[in-house]
Amino acid sequence: MIVNKVVEERTRRTEWYRDARFGMFIHWGLYAIPAKQEWLRSVEELTKEQYEPYINEFTVENYDPKKWAKLAKEAGMKYAVLTAKHHDGFCLFDSQLTDFKSTNAPCKRDLVREFLEAFRAEGIKVGLYFSIIDWHHPDYPHYGDMNHPMRNHPECSNENRDFDRYLEYMFGQARELLTNYGKLDLMWFDFSYGEMKGAKWKAEELVQMIRSLQPDIIIDNRLEGSGEDAGSIRTLNPTTYSGDFASPEQMIPPNGIRDEAGNMIPWEACITLNNHWGYAARDTHYKTAKMALRMLVECVSKGGNLLLNVGPDAKGEIPEESVKILKEIGRWMKQNARSIYGCGYADLPKPEWGRYTRKGNILYAHVLEEQAGAICLENMAGKIEKMRLVKDNSVVEETFYWNLKEFAENAFFFLNPETADSYPLPDELDTVVEIFLKEE
């Protein structure tokens, strides 16, 4: 139910986004060189003098965004978001407001421009991640800040630091991205914390500028919130800078994300393929394709999106393990994508064998676990018009097997009716049955 103008506009802007459901997050920057993690400078409390020299090694000789874009398309991803600037302040675009950028590195390339052109050419919606934090800028708070690398160094006093001057710089870089790179579909701001949120960023003025330049762009909720707190987007009276979608991080909300009245709001879970956002050479703990795919299905079943992250190495290569996982997801998506795109919450209890997604009067049963006997569709007796296996469009028949008659309020089907017994699922990753419900 639309309750005010902010929600009405949010609903209109996010129509494509709620249909897309699956996106690629790309964390890439100087931190790929030490190859530990994207928060390296903060975690190890590195000075500018210790960190800045990495720019002299940023050669990215294997960076081919066309290859990245083809991989995202093959995986079934409908949008992609690249870190134009992370917290370390290093820009992958040719900002005129700093020298700390890729065009001044040995590669001498505007990596953002190349990314946008390559992904647009594949028909993929494009977004840019932009950190409103900047550990490189002299006017950003240093000593005592919760996250700054120099937070524990009293010699880095905040005396003579001018935060308004920093905001002028931050606004200027956002304006560059919004005016110099054509139409952007999404801006992913990161992030607010403690007292550093909302009005501190002049968020209302920032959003006004964004809307004046690109009125249809969608933005996340982190001008006001973070991975810890969604902000006013969950209320019935969200602020103008509450964002167009919520952004839970490294987890999938138990019941999706709703406002105070129980209405679904747009959201996406941003999750890594291993344990780090940026390239970490020793992090080989990757999720399986099965797990990643089931995360996607779970998000969609709860009315949300999945933004799945890859962290390219210092040469610009997406790790081979990530490529392998995405290609396997892509093989499944090629056969089953209609159970994901445009689908959402089914308004039914979670079945014991898997998940439901729904598109209008069509229900998709994602059978994730083998069952002893028939698959039960609880309380659906008499409600089903027809069923078919999405993988190949083959007919799936409702069964009235002898041992099911006692449970006549339910509908049942076998995926292998000739055996009518336990059997392997047709697709180990996720077997999807399309259920056409009768008009009520």
Residue 192: closest CA among 255, 138, 239? 239
Per the rule left: phi > 0, alpha: psi between -120 and 50, beta: everything else, 194 is left
Helical (H) or strand (E) element with 346: none
Cα(28)–Cα(394) distance, integer angstroms: 43
In the CATH scheme, what is the homologous superfamily, with its name and number, of domain 354-437?
Golgi alpha-mannosidase II (2.60.40.1180)
Cα(102)–Cα(294) distance, integer angstroms: 37
Annotate 108-151 with DSSP letters as a single string. ---HHHHHHHHHHHTT-EEEEEEES--SSSTTS--TT-SS-TTT
Do residues 437 and 382 touch, judged by C-beta distance below 8 A?
Answer: no
- What pLDDT, on the 0 to 100 scale, is given for residue 2? 46
- The beta strand positions in 8-97, using DSSP E, are 22-26, 79-85
Residue 314: closest CA among 5, 20, 21, 34? 34
Do residues 378 and 349 touch, judged by C-beta distance below 8 A?
Answer: yes
Residue 241: closest CA among 189, 193, 194? 189
SS3 content of the chain, % helix, strand, coil (to 5): 30, 20, 50
- What pLDDT, on the 0 to 100 scale, is given for residue 424? 80
Q: Is CATH 3.20.20.80 the classification given to domain 5-339?
A: yes
Annotated domain spans of the chain: 5-339, 354-437
In the block, residue with structure tokens 């209890």: 349
In the sheet that holds 362-367, the strands lie side by side as: 354-359, 362-367, 431-437, 384-389, 394-395
**Interstrand relation of 384-389 and 394-395 (parallel, antiparallel or unpaired):** antiparallel
Prediction pTM value: 0.97
Helix (H, G, I), strand (E, B) or coil at 47: coil
Cα(430)–Cα(418) distance, integer angstroms: 21
Helices (H), 182-285: 203-213
Residues in the chain with pLDDT values less than 70: 1-3, 417-423
Looking at residue 63, its amino acid is Y
